[in-house]
Amino acid sequence: MTTQLQNKVFKAAETSVLAELGLVVGKAIVCTEKGVDHYDLQGDHIPKLVAAKGLLEFFGGPRVHKVMHKGEEAGAIELGMLITVETCKALDIQADWEGVAIAFRPTADILAKYESGEYRGFSIGGECAYEESA
C-alpha cells in the first residue's frame, strides 16, 4: 500500500509469515529507501543512528507486541536486526533500504490473521527525542 501526502511517498510495511516458527517478519523502522530519506505515515523521519540506538535500548527491556498499539500483550518481539549499508556489506547481502527488521511471535489467533491475509503489516510504538544537526 502506498499513500502520497504533500509530495512525500509513504509505504505501509509488508510482512512475511514463517508459520512453522510461529513468527511474523517485517520492517519495523525504515530510515532510507534507495538512498532517500523515508518518512512514515505521521511524516516522521528516523535517522539510521537513532534507529540503531533505539534497537539496542529496545532489546534491553521488555519486547511486547500489541495489535496496532492497543490492548493487552499479543506476543513478543523475538528478533531484531539493523539493516544498513555497513551491515549488508558485512553479511554479503543486499537491501535497497536501511532501518530495523524484526520478527515477532504473536498469539495463535493473531498469527492466524496474518496467515489469512487479514493483517498484512504491523506497527511498533516508541518515543525518541533527537535534534537534527544543520
Q: Each residue's pLDDT tens digit in the chain (134 positions)?
A: 444 334 444 444 578 899 999 999 989 889 999 999 998 877 889 999 999 998 888 788 767 666 655 666 677 888 999 999 999 999 999 999 999 998 989 889 989 988 998 887 766 655 555 555 54
What local confidence, expressed as pLDDT, does residue 124 receive? 60
**Residue tagged 543512528 (cell numbers):** 49
User: What is the model's pTM?
Assistant: 0.77
Locate the DSSP E strands across 34-108: 36-37, 64-67, 70-83, 97-106
Residue from 47, 24, 40, 13 nearest 115 by CA: 24
Residue type for position 78: E
Q: What are phi and psi of 85, to 5 degrees?
A: -55, -45
The β-bridge relationship of strands 64-67 and 2-5 is unpaired
What local confidence, expressed as pLDDT, does residue 14 receive? 73
What local confidence, expressed as pLDDT, does residue 127 receive? 53
Q: How far apart are CA 132 and CA 20, in angstroms?
A: 42
* Whole-angstrom Cα Rg for the chain: 15
What local confidence, expressed as pLDDT, does residue 57 receive? 84
Domain boundaries, the chain: 2-116
Q: Report the length, in residues, of the chain.
A: 134
Helix (H) or strand (E) holding 120: none
What local confidence, expressed as pLDDT, does residue 3 receive? 40
